[in-house]
């Protein structure tokens, strides 16, 4: 459990104690106290879950809202791809991996593009050429990952062949575009709330 989650639980426990004290100080039946207390427990549980998974919830909300409103978070301008910053502060991109859609987080701090195991299986990532796993240092500790290659990665007007990728079940639902993709571009930069990707002339 993370430090933020521990703080949330302590705060929620304190709030529940205050609510319970207020309920018992009132002259109401025990059954009504129990029902009210359970209602408050449910409210605090929803709050804690929502706060703990705020990034994932914001990602889903951005995706759904863009579908409903018709406003895409990425636009192609000639050969340039412009990606609007999401409400969670990150840049997400819709890509095609071996002709199958995958949503990636763009992370310039990641050396290598990474995919979770389920997505890698669904998109037929080739893991057969590399027999030995690698150990990666992540925020959650060391992770053993398999090395592979994306045979064909298309992001907007950019198309990359045989891009190295690391795959691990420990990545959860995450898929990350790393520097090994960004370094193949002519340029990439952030201007205001947009990330701008420009392909190499040889693409």
**pLDDT value, residue 84:** 95
**Tokens linked to 167:** 């795959």
Q: How far apart are CA 25 and CA 22, in angstroms?
A: 5
Q: Is the dihedral of CA 179, 181, 187, 192 positive or negative?
A: negative
> pLDDT tens, 110-140?
999 999 999 999 999 988 777 778 888 776 7
Q: How far apart are CA 179 and CA 154, in angstroms?
A: 16
* Cβ-contact 86, 92 below 8 angstroms: yes
CA distances from 114 to 15, 110, 142, 172, 173 (A): 40, 8, 15, 11, 11
**pLDDT value, residue 18:** 60
**pLDDT value, residue 163:** 95
Q: Is 170 helix (H, G, I), strand (E, B) or coil?
A: helix
* Cβ-contact 126, 162 below 8 angstroms: no
Regions in the chain scoring below 50 on pLDDT: 2, 55, 65-71, 203
Q: How far apart are CA 187 and CA 169, in angstroms?
A: 32
């Amino acid at each position: 459990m993370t430090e933020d989650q521990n703080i949330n639980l302590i705060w929620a426990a304190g709030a529940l104690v205050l609510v319970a004290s207020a309920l018992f100080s009132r002259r109401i039946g025990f059954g009504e106290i129990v029902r009210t207390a359970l209602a408050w427990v449910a409210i605090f549980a929803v709050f804690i879950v929502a706060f703990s998974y705020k990034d994932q919830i914001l990602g889903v909300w951005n995706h759904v809202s863009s579908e409903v409103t018709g406003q895409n978070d990425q636009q192609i301008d000639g050969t340039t791809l412009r990606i609007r910053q999401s409400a969670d502060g990150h840049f997400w991109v819709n890509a095609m991996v071996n002709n199958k859609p995958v949503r990636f987080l763009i992370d310039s701090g990641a050396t290598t593009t990474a995919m979770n195991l389920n997505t890698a299986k669904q998109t037929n990532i080739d893991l057969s050429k590399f027999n030995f796993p690698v150990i990666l240092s992540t925020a959650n500790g060391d992770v053993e990952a398999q090395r592979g290659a994306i045979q064909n990665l298309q992001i907007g007007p950019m198309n990359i062949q045989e891009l190295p990728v690391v795959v691990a079940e420990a990545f959860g639902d995450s898929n990350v575009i790393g520097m090994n993709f960004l370094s193949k571009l002519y340029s990439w930069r952030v201007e205001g709330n947009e990330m701008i990707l420009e392909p190499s002339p040889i693409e």
